[in-house]
């Protein structure tokens, strides 16, 4: 009789301890279950060409200074030829441009 009680106790313990394992099988693994928060499908009144044109007007910011405010450019009163001449004169008077690895 003690062997019978021991086997029943072992079976009952196994059932009680495996309850979590059986419950876990009802839960889907990540990404395998249905998406329960589905929103109703809505249709857009925009055409493909309109969407592409809007996207072309609002390109994403890229590059080194993308997160900085856009600087308004002003027209210079000095021409390109004048800037070149001033640079030549500065070099002739001893000014050296910072170039190379030590710049």
- Band (pLDDT 50/70/90 cuts) for residue 92 is very high
- Tell me the torsion sign for CA atoms 47, 49, 50, 54: positive
pLDDT given at position 82: 95
**61: which residues sit within 8 A by CB, 6+ positions away?**
67
Query: Is the pTM here over 0.75, yes or no?
Result: no
For the chain, domain boundaries: 1-25
Q: What confidence score (pLDDT) does residue 98 get?
A: 81
């Amino acid at each position: 009789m003690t062997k019978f009680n021991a086997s029943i106790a072992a079976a009952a313990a196994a059932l009680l301890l495996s309850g979590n394992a059986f419950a876990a099988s009802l839960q889907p693994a990540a990404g395998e279950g249905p998406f329960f928060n589905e929103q109703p499908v809505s249709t857009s009144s925009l055409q493909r060409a309109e969407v592409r044109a809007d996207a072309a007007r609002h390109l994403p910011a890229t590059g080194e200074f993308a997160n900085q405010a856009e600087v308004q450019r002003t027209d210079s009163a000095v021409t390109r030829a004048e800037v070149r001449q001033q640079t030549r004169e500065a070099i002739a008077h001893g000014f050296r441009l910072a170039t190379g690895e030590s710049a």
